[in-house]
Amino acid sequence: MKFKEIYRERKFKQELARIQRTPHVPKLDEVKKVGVIWQPSQKEAMNYLRDYFNKNHIIFRTYCVFDELSNPLEANNALTVNDLNWWGIPKPETTQDFMSVHFDLLLNIALKQNFVLDYITALTPAKFKVGTSNLETNYFDLNINIGENQDTMFLVKQQIFYLAQLNKR
C-alpha cells in the first residue's frame, strides 16, 4: 500500500469508529426514503428501482459515482474524480446532500466496490444497507451473492426479492 492509501484508510476507519448504528430490517410497505448508489453503466437498473419505488410514493434519491473513464455532465447528485481530495476521499461539499439523509433503505447497485463506493456506503446513515461484494470486509447489512451472474438488473431484482423474503418473517 502506498502512503496515500494508508492515510486514507486510517482516516476512513477513524470516521467509521464514530458511527454507532444497529441495522433494522425495514418492512417494504413502511419504507419512506430510499437511497441508491450507482454508476453510469447501471442507469437501466437505477431506473427500474426508481419506477418500483415511485409507484409506492416513496422518496427516492440517487447518487451516481463516476469512474475515471467517464466524462459526466455537471450534476449535484454525482461524484467525479474531480470531487475527490488529494487523498482520494470525497470532498464533503460534494457528498453532504446525499450522505446527510437518514434513509430507511440504502441500495448500492455497483457490481465492483472501490474505496469511494465503500466510503459513501459506510458513512451514509441508513437503517439498512444492501449490496454485493465478494470481499470479506464490506459495509452492507445484507450482502447478496450474485455468483457468476454479474448483471446489475439481476442484482436489483435479487435485492428486492430478498427484502421481501425478510419481511415475511
Q: What is the CA radius of gyration of the chain?
A: 16
Query: How does pLDDT run across 3-34, given as a tens digit for each residue?
Result: 888 999 999 999 999 998 899 998 888 899 99
Q: Is the dihedral of CA 62, 48, 70, 140 positive or negative?
A: positive
Beta bridge partners of residue 143, listed in sequence order = 131
Q: What type of residue is 27?
A: K
Q: Residue 25 is part of which domain span?
A: 3-167
Interacting residues of 95 by C-beta distance below 8 A, sequence separation 6+: 63, 79, 83, 120
Query: Domain with 149 in it: what CATH number?
Result: 3.40.50
Count of domains forming the chain: 1
Interacting residues of 158 by C-beta distance below 8 A, sequence separation 6+: 144, 146
- Tell me the C-alpha distance between 99 and 121, whole Å: 9
Of the candidates 169, 30, 35, the one whose C-alpha atom is nearest the C-alpha of residue 108 is: 35
pLDDT in tens, the chain (169 residues): 688 889 999 999 999 999 988 999 988 888 999 999 999 999 999 999 999 999 989 999 999 998 765 656 556 688 988 899 988 899 999 999 999 999 999 999 999 999 999 999 999 999 999 999 988 889 999 999 998 888 999 999 999 999 989 877 5
Identify the helix (H) or strand (E) that includes residue 117: helix 115-123
Interacting residues of 124 by C-beta distance below 8 A, sequence separation 6+: 35, 37, 98, 99, 101, 103, 106
Q: What is the mean pLDDT of the chain?
A: 90
Q: How many helices (H) and strands (E) does the chain have?
A: 5, 6
